[in-house]
Structure 1
Amino acid sequence: MLSHAQVWAAIDKLAKRHELSPSGLAKRAGLDPTTFNPSKRFSVDERPRWPSTESLAKILEATGETLNAFVASITVQEPTASTEAASRIVPLKGLCDAGHEGTFDQLGAPTGMTWNQMSFPDPKAKEIFALEVTGDDMLPLYRDGDIIIVAPDAPIRRGDRVVVKSKLQALSVLLLHKRTDSAMEFQPLDKRASRLHFKHADIDWVGRIIWASQ
């Protein structure tokens, strides 16, 4: 029997073979760009969502792939203990939605019931969560539909890409420029923009970006 994870993995493989993101694959097929985004693969109550046969037909036509080739890319073998240990399920949420009150605790750990889920291939990483980029505001570093994995308890150094939750604004993706005993200074991804200076007392938490699905 084919599992929910295997079918979505086959779609991801198809996109990768054609050097596309899931969002790019959907666009090429004439579908809504968010059709195959990881955040759409589970409902709010965490029930799995399956791709429609219409959407599958459209991506096969758009890429010139055959149904047999698509099916062959699906690993039918049931997961074993070793394969399950090679990945983990992490919380996933849209970056634009993740700044709402009640989404994180004071240490940057996800809270509440509005998170989706995704599989991440590194079981050793601890206390991590995933954010999905929406729109093109972060080009050229991150595109619409990219996933970033954030570790709020990971040590950070100058030059690291980080997610910052301050008391005065929603989540921001920035570069750590300098840290002192009293404050932290960040460079926006658009290096033409002025640096941002936050006192430690004005920052809820900072999480290092440890992986991105680019």
Structure 2
Amino acid sequence: MLSHERIWSAIDHLAHRHGLTASGLARRAGLDATSFNRSKRVTPDGRKRWPSTESLAKILAATGASLDEFVHLVDPQSVRARAMLPLIRSREADRWIGPDGLPAGADREEMDFPDLGAQRCFAIEIQGGGLRPHYRDGDVLVVSAGASLRKGDRVVACLDSGLVAANLKRRTARAAELAPIAPGEPERVIPAAEIRWMARVMWVRH
């Protein structure tokens, strides 16, 4: 079960396995040293804070642990079911996403990945540098068109001009307000009519 407590416990276990504190693990992954501090796991008003999928991807890359290993740390008794996710290239995103939010076409490729449940997930392999500096050529994003979108979620939106990656600030029937991933970048307000589809980023493989 992916609970708040178990995910943070798994991060602590991963750090301990490599002889690190939570702060040491964050530094090794190129994150702020305080990212995994216990004081950061709950807000002052008692709301739970969850680690981002990108920070999890970075600590797995830094330690050489696989996603399966991390899932096993979260829930040692879990049966790690697998799923074959539709895989598309970022340059094909506008052509291959169907009205149900999933890639269309009988000849589409697939990628083996831990089953995330009924969230209509698919994978996007990044081609070129259109999403730099956040995602580079060859990175793979696992996204869900079925997951509910909330303020602060990392999302990928397909526009007429191509893919855009950002943090969701607000979405209405008329427009989506997108906050920058990195400080210093401008915020964007995109009319709903210009958005072909929008999906929540569930995992990143660099």
* TM-score bucket of the superposed structures, by smaller chain: 0.5 to 0.7
**Is 1:142 equivalent to 2:135 in the alignment?**
yes
Q: CA RMSD in A?
A: 2.6
Unaligned 5+ runs, structure 2: 1-77
State the secondary structure of the residue aligned to 1:97: helix
- Contact kept? 1:182, 1:200, Cα under 8 Å: yes
Match of 1:202 in 2: 194
Counterpart code for 1:109: L
Counterpart code for 1:94: R
Match of 1:157 in 2: 150
More off after superposition, 91-100 vs 185-194: 185-194
- Contact kept? 2:120, 2:145, Cα under 8 Å: yes
Alignment partners' CA distance in 2, 1:137 and 1:189: 14
CA shift digits 1:64-109 (9 cap, x unpaired): xxxxxxxxxxxxxxxxxx98x6111111111122223xx1122321
- Contact kept? 1:138, 1:189, Cα under 8 Å: no
Match of 1:89 in 2: 84
Match of 2:103 in 1: 110
Match of 1:212 in 2: 204
Alignment partners' CA distance in 1, 2:116 and 2:173: 33
Task: Give the TM-score, by structure 1 length.
Answer: 0.52
Of residues 154, 176, 186 in structure 1, which corresponds to 2:178?
186
- Contact kept? 1:106, 1:204, Cα under 8 Å: no
Task: Give the TM-score, by structure 2 length.
Answer: 0.53
Counterpart code for 1:96: R
Alignment partners' CA distance in 2, 1:88 and 1:178: 31
Alignment partners' CA distance in 1, 2:98 and 2:113: 22
Report deviation, 1:209. 0.6
Alignment partners' CA distance in 2, 1:112 and 1:186: 30
Closer/same/farther in 2, CA of residues 138 and 199 from structure 1, 3 Å limit: closer
Q: Which has the larger radius of gyration?
A: 1
Matches for 1:1-214 after TM superposition, within 5 Å: 86-100=81-95, 103-166=96-159, 168-189=160-181, 191-214=183-206
- Contact kept? 1:188, 1:194, Cα under 8 Å: yes
Unaligned 5+ runs, structure 1: 1-81
CA shift digits 1:106-145 (9 cap, x unpaired): 2321101342111011252531110012234444432332
Q: Which runs of 4+ in 1 moved over 6 A?
A: none
State the secondary structure of the residue aligned to 1:149: strand
Closer/same/farther in 2, CA of residues 193 and 122 from structure 1, 3 Å limit: same
State the secondary structure of the residue aligned to 2:142: strand
State the secondary structure of the residue aligned to 2:193: helix
- Contact kept? 2:86, 2:123, Cα under 8 Å: yes
